[in-house]
Amino acid sequence: MDIHRQVKYEEELDKTFLEEIKVLSGAEDLDRCIQCGTCSSSCPMSIYMDSPPRKIIAQVKNGFKEEALRSFTIWLCSSCYTCQVRCPAKIEITEVMYALKRKAIEEKVYPQKFPIPVLDKEMTNLIKNYGRNSELWLILRLYLKSRNPIGLLKMAPLGLKLMKTGRMSLKREAIKERKQLKDLLKFLKEAT
Amino acid sequence: MRDYVYYPGCSLKGNSKHYEESILPVFKELGFPLEELEDWNCCGATAYFSIDDLMATAICGRNLSLAEKRQRNIMAPCAGCYLTLKKANKVLRENSEKARKINQALEKAGCPYHGGIEVKHPLEVLIEDIGLDLIKDKVRYKLKGLKVACYYGCQLVRPFTDFDDPDYPTSLDQLMETIGAQPVPYSAKTRCCGGSLTGTIEEVGKRLNFILLKEAKRRGADVIVTLCPLCQFNLEIFQDKMAKDYGEDVTMPILYFSQLMGLAFGLAKEDLGFNRSIIDLKPLWPKLTNGGIV
Ligand code: SF4
Ligand code: SF4
């Protein structure tokens, strides 16, 4: 049996994490959280989360960087904004979740084959290159990248129904001014 | 500036063609024919914001610029697009370093944005600009006896809208009453459908939508009325599995408000995209055509 220390010593906490997430998310009132739990009890995804939103906010506030960034919670957040509109301290919790996702990707601590970040990445790539999303292409790339051929097979009956009702297109969608979009992203990158 | 340009977004050109097929004729019938925004790009949805906030806002800025050039406000029927474009519009109008950077890049790329337009959802346009009175005048067949659960989802009412309540909105209920349908009290009306999670983690998507369907059944609804392509899709696709997995049959058609409006206006049902329903509509038709002539 492996015995691990279950608490952290203060010097192990990341003192800069709170400020960093405040800037990344724009949630300047983050440290005004009173730990009331309204967010967790409002969150429709909390039944699946390893740490409900209240705990994530506490982790960010107190420098538990690893715990917050490695949590599944941030990927399960569907950005429904329920917590955010109900928070008595007016903390932009949804924006904090977004900021944590971006930070986890930047630090490469996100679950690499977990389908949610894979979907986000693949969709972003489609948009960067073509300006539009093509549903079928996105789904195919999602299952390819998350190495889940069985999942794809399971989707077949749904695919058939969508075919039958004319709701699945094989066409790759694209905008005309792809160059303008690429320029825009390039100029922005240069400026940051 | 009350003129709108129509921003379909990827869904209305993809799996939600029936939303486009019904919303265009309905607005035409009301005397506001919609024109599509030329060369619009994807709004980026929640995906892009999870990867890169600046870039995500910038690509929305391009859409805002295209509409501004034509001096039109944007009307976005997808609640996801609506929220995303609205959020970008807010950010780009702020006096911040972030806004300056993005606005400069937009300008350099030949699509400058000056903060001059608004983003609206068709429901908002119908209630606030067109008005329920005009809609009432257009009704030829009241959908009498049709019990509807009005489902708003999250992205339309939170957090940037002020035209309705974020927890218990009523605008769609009013609209449905105007066309003669009977909204049932539906406490789950703004509970999230899971968004893109249905495509990634099936158990989560299935369970969340089961909760929504079960509540609508319990309230005696014949149909759930939606205003977002993702909600519509998510509510439909797992219904066949739910009976087996959760031991309760919650089968129910999921329609767009625009499809029901089209019917009430007397438009041909063949032209309103009903053939695209995954759920069998046969049991529902007698109720849909029950209404008398006004
Ligand atoms: S609702 Fe707001 S104040 Fe309450 S625990 Fe959540 S973040 Fe903190
Ligand atoms: S925005 Fe995310 S964390 Fe907040 S209630 Fe919705 S799913 Fe939960």
Residue pLDDT, tens place only, B88-103: 999 999 999 999 999 9
Q: Which stretches of chain A are DSSP H helices? A: 17-25, 38-42, 53-62, 65-69, 73-76, 82-86, 93-106, 115-130, 135-145, 149-154, 156-164, 178-191
Cβ neighbours of residue B45 closer than 8 Å, sequence gap 6 or more? A123, A133, B80, B81, B84, B196
B32 and B114 assigned to the same domain: yes
Specify the pLDDT at position A164. Answer: 86
CATH code for the domain in which residue B64 is found = 1.20.1050.140
Give mean pLDDT, residues B131-157: 94
B57 touches B102 (CB < 8 A): yes
Q: What is the model's pTM?
A: 0.92
Report the alpha-carbon distance of residue A108 to residue B217 in Å, rounded: 44
Smallest CA–CA distance, residue A42 to chain B, in Å, is: 9
Residue B165 maps to a domain: yes
Tokens of B217: 């059944």
For residue B157, the one-letter residue type is V
Name the pairing type of β-strands B119-120 and B182-183: unpaired
Q: To the nearest whole number, what is the mean pLDDT of chain A? A: 89
| pLDDT tens string B145-176 | 899 999 999 988 888 877 898 889 999 999 99
Contact B155, B82 (CB under 8 A): yes
- The pLDDT assigned to B20 comes to 97
- In short, whether A35's Cβ falls inside 6 Å of ligand 1 is yes
The pLDDT value given to residue A133: 85
Contact residues, chain A, for B82 at CB < 8 Å: none
Average pLDDT over every residue of A134-141 = 77
Considering B99, B120, B141, which residue would you say is the last residue of a domain? B120
Binding site membership of A89 for ligand 1 (Cβ less than 6 Å): yes
pLDDT tens, position by position, A57-108: 999 999 999 999 999 999 999 999 999 999 999 999 999 999 999 999 999 8
Q: Which of B16, B43, B51 to mutate to test the interface with A (most CBs of A within 10 A)?
A: B51
**B54 interfacial to chain A (CB closer than 8 Å):** yes
Say what the pLDDT of residue A54 is. Answer: 98
Class at the top of the CATH hierarchy for domain A10-106: mainly alpha
| Residues B139 and B227 placed together within one structural domain of the fold | yes
Confidence of residue B2 (pLDDT cuts 50, 70, 90): low
Do B258 and B219 belong to one domain? yes
Q: Which two tokens stand for residue A26?
A: 């724009």
Same domain? For B25 and B165 the reply is no
Q: Please indicate, yes or no, if residue B154 is contained in any of the structural domains.
A: yes
Smallest CA-to-CA distance from B103 within B64, B139, B138 is with: B64
* B56 has pLDDT over 80: yes
The predicted-structure confidence for B3-54, as pLDDT tens digits, reads as follows 899 999 999 998 899 999 999 999 999 999 999 999 999 999 888 888 889 9
Q: How many CB atoms lie within 10 A of CB B254?
A: 25
Q: How far is residue A139's CA from residue B162's CA, in Å, rounded to a whole number?
A: 35
**So what's the pLDDT on residue B1?**
42
Nearest CA owner, ligand 1 atom 8:
A33
- Complete DSSP assignment for A72-117: SHHHH-----HHHHH-TT---HHHHHHHHHHHHHHTT-S-TT-HHH
Q: Mutate which of A45, A81, A139, A186 to test chain B, going by most B C-beta atoms within 10 A? A: A81
ipTM of the complex: 0.89
Q: Is the pLDDT of residue A122 over 80?
A: yes
* Residue B286 pLDDT: 85
Half-sphere exposure of A192 (CA within 13 A, CB side): 19
| B59 closest CA partner among A83, A191, A180, A49 | A180
Considering the domain boundaries, does residue B125 fall inside one?
A: no
For residues A189 and A192, what is the distance between their CA atoms, to the nearest angstrom?
Answer: 5
Q: How confident is the model at residue B247 (pLDDT cuts 50, 70, 90)?
A: very high
Of the candidates B120, B143, B177, which is a domain's last residue? Answer: B120
pLDDT at residue A120, rounded to an integer = 83
Residues B140 and B64 in one domain: no
User: In this structure, are residues A73 and A51 in contact, taking their beta carbons and an 8 Å threshold?
Assistant: yes
pLDDT value of position B222: 96
Which range, of A107-116, A145-154, B242-251, averages the lowest pLDDT? Answer: A145-154
B294, part of any domain: no
CA of A112 from ligand 1 middle (Å) equals 30
Q: Which of A51, A55, A87 to mutate to test the pocket of ligand 1 (most atoms within 8 A of CB)?
A: A87
Together in a domain, B140 and B160 = yes
pLDDT band at A147 (very low <50, low <70, confident <90, very high): low
Establish if B137 belongs to a structural domain.
Answer: yes
In this complex, is the C-beta atom of B44 within 8 Å of any C-beta atom belonging to chain A? yes
Q: Is residue B126 part of a domain?
A: no
Of chain A residues 47-76, which have a CB less than 8 A from chain B? Answer: 48, 76
pLDDT by residue (tens digit) across A7-63? Answer: 899 999 999 999 999 999 999 999 999 999 999 999 999 999 999 999 999 999 999
User: Which residues in chain B are contacts of A173 at CB distance < 8 A?
Assistant: 10, 13-14
Average pLDDT of the residues in B263-280: 93
B200 and B96 both lie in a single domain: no
Contact A131, A181 (CB under 8 A): yes
Instruction: Clarify whether residues B222 and B162 are in a common domain.
Output: yes
Helix runs in B14-96, H state only = 17-29, 45-51, 53-69, 79-93
Interface residue B185 vs chain A (CB under 8 A): no
- Say whether residue A117 is in contact with chain B using an 8 A CB cutoff: yes
Tell me: do B248 and B139 sit in the same domain: yes
Q: Which residue has the higher pLDDT, B56 or A147?
A: B56
- The count of domains in chain B is 2
Q: Where a domain ends, among B120, B146, B179?
A: B120
Q: Does A43 sit in the ligand 2 pocket, CB within 6 Å?
A: yes
Q: Which of A127, A170, A171, A192 to mutate to test the interface with B (most CBs of B within 10 A)?
A: A127
Instruction: Give pLDDT, residue B290.
Output: 57
Cis geometry, peptide bond prior to residue B159 (ω within 30 degrees of 0):
yes
Which residues belong to CATH 1.10.1060.10 in chain A? 10-106
- Interaxial angle between packed helices B229-237 and B239-246, expressed in degrees from 0 to 180 and rounded to the nearest 10: 50
Structure tokens at A169: 């297109």
Per-residue model confidence as pLDDT tens digits over B104-118: 999 999 999 999 999
Report if residue B15 sits inside a domain.
yes
Give dist(CA A1, CA B112) in Å, integer.
63
Q: List the domain range (segments joined by +) for residue B264.
A: 132-289
Give tens-digit pLDDT for B250-261: 999 999 999 999
User: What is the distance of C-alpha B171 from the center of its chain?
Assistant: 13
Mutating to test ligand 2, I would choose from A50, A72, A80 the residue with most ligand atoms within 8 A of its C-beta, which is A80
Q: Do residues B143 and B284 both lie within one domain?
A: yes
Q: Does residue B144 share a domain with residue B11? A: no
CATH of the domain at B267: 3.40.50.11810
Question: Do B25 and B168 share a domain, yes or no?
Answer: no
Specify if B263 maps to a domain.
yes
